[in-house]
Chains A and B, each alone.
Chain A
């Protein structure tokens, strides 16, 4: 197997006496969609926060493209090609959909210490932004303030913002949370189209989405990875079924 895009080695994080990441070790291969599932409070968001740099692990290492990023902050990691969408929708509500994405383009293309010239009119920013909006099905919503978009559309907008940063790895923190069934189906469609272009790590409660999309699944319980395997392996593992999937898969 090629060198993994992301590799965690014995990552450990404790809040007081509570171990939220218990020597987590796993990797994401190039182009792979790796899903992390687990019950509430299993430490999924804490894990994502450590990967994106919002939290620092107490011990262990995080390698990104072979490089040790354990002590880098979020902006540095973003610059290396690690993009993230948030559990709580996180777009800039006062900016139009287009401007949200154009800002993400701006983050990756050249200096933003430019004091003159109208950023809203820059073709170099707007063209890739419009292309990304089209990819997630928001082409006709470009001028709408992000705050006025429907929930599922905001999710799609977040994806578009992540897309234009040309990530090596995209962290998806519960992209289906709070979306209706139709919107979920649409988002699954969008993610399926994007699959293979870059590696993705998906944290998600919606098992339909996880089993439809994932190449590999890791089950996180009480901060510890119980099993990593293909969807079929995970589905049939008696331990997982007993501990978690039992209620989720009817």
Chain B
């Protein structure tokens, strides 16, 4: 995988300095996630490790949502279905004694990608609110299908006997190893998305978001680009589902509920839409806030809801937007001094 970089032969492009600066925040984020286990181990809190593993898994799913909403203007309200399909692939294979990631991972991603392809062919023929509703409808279809899978636990879900092995080695069973596996997957997913949006393909997607009719008259068959993006996002979410099943050692229809899809959208809005690293920040903020508030009161949602509304309404660009504004303010104050 090739990360995008400023090519030296490029005559006119955004200046390398601003490009470097735009990568500073995600780099900081990943370094923080990489050294976090050391702090967690010092405090001997395995709980923190689990929590952040979860954060990173949902970050991967949120990345796929940001790819669709933030760069292709495809507001998907059924993304949790793909997470669930990835998770169920792990659960169902495992219940038949197939527990190696080398099988489970490709199956999870292929199944999610195939579901994206088949539903995308239908969904992408609609626009705007209809697109939102039809992705929601397909999401619910997946949810009810999973709920009725009696051999695989139906409503109650399915408990895994153990985490997947990797080429026969029980690596995922060790929390620290699993944590770094998930971090590696997150970084790879981020690099992939970053490269996608800067590529020719990504430019067409972004152009479609700006003005789809204009893209058509330029000669782009917009639908094909959107479909490919939809499948890529579906596979990424399937990947997140694979990780989620391994993290919780449990698979349930609840993974596919429409509330989950909504939460993924909120994560992206909270962090800052159309930035990619905003999806990671948003996932972290969402899950940590949820965890923290739930420690105070069982009615934590009464605080959580209004808080989300405030951020989304008043902070353009989400938490990333706040960070950028603060950064500028600090630079103004000290930069000239």
Contacts and interface: CB of A to CB of B under 8 A. Distances in A.
A107 interface: yes
Interface stretch (A62-70, A72-80, A211-219, A230-238): A72-80
Contact of B4 (A111, A114, A117, A161): A117
A112 B204 contact: yes
A99 B203 CA distance: 9
B198 A104 contact: no
A116 B1 contact: yes
A163 to B, nearest CB: 13
Interface residues of A, number: 43
A120 B210 contact: no
A78 B217 contact: yes
A208 B231 CA distance: 52
Contacts of B211: 90-93
Contact of A142 (B12, B206, B218, B219): B12
A103 B207 contact: yes
Interface in A105-141: 106-108, 111-123, 126-127, 130
Contacts of B210: 92-95
B20 to A, nearest CB: 14
B219 A118 contact: no
Contacts of B201: 112-115
Interface string B198-220: 11111110110011011011111
A143 interface: yes
Contacts of B195: 115-117
A130 B210 CA distance: 22
A154 B225 CA distance: 26
Contacts of B213: 90
Contacts of B5: 118
B72 to A, nearest CB: 14
Given A103-B204, A107-B220, A165-B219, A118 B198 contact: yes
B217 A106 contact: no
Given A75-B219, A107-B219, A117 B200 contact: yes
Nearest to A158: B214
Tell me which of A73, A75, A90 has the highest count of chain B C-beta atoms within 10 A of its own C-beta: A75
A52 interface: yes
Interface in B196-246: 196, 198-204, 206-207, 210-211, 213-214, 216-221, 225, 228
Contacts of A127: 11
Contact of B207 (A74, A95, A117, A143): A95
Contact of A106 (B196, B204, B228): B204
Interface residues of B, number: 35
Interface string A150-165: 0000000000010001
A92 B214 contact: yes
A42 interface: no
Given A112-B220, A113-B228, A121 B199 contact: no
Contacts of B200: 106, 111-114, 117, 119, 122
A130 B219 CA distance: 20
A230 B206 CA distance: 44
Interface string A80-102: 00001010001111110011001
Given A103-B204, A103-B207, A120 B219 contact: no
A121 B13 contact: yes
Contacts of A117: 2, 4, 195, 199-200
A95 B10 CA distance: 18
Tell me which of A86, A113, A121, A127 has the highest count of chain B C-beta atoms within 10 A of its own C-beta: A121
Contacts of A75: 216-217, 219-221
18 contacts: A75-B220, A90-B213, A90-B214, A92-B207, A92-B214, A95-B206, A103-B203, A106-B204, A107-B218, A112-B203, A120-B203, A121-B6, A121-B7, A121-B10, A121-B13, A126-B13, A130-B11, A142-B12
Interface of B: 1-2, 4-7, 9-14, 195-196, 198-204, 206-207, 210-211, 213-214, 216-221, 225, 228
Given A54-B217, A113-B228, 10 more contacts: A78-B217, A92-B214, A115-B195, A118-B6, A118-B7, A119-B198, A120-B203, A121-B7, A126-B13, A143-B12
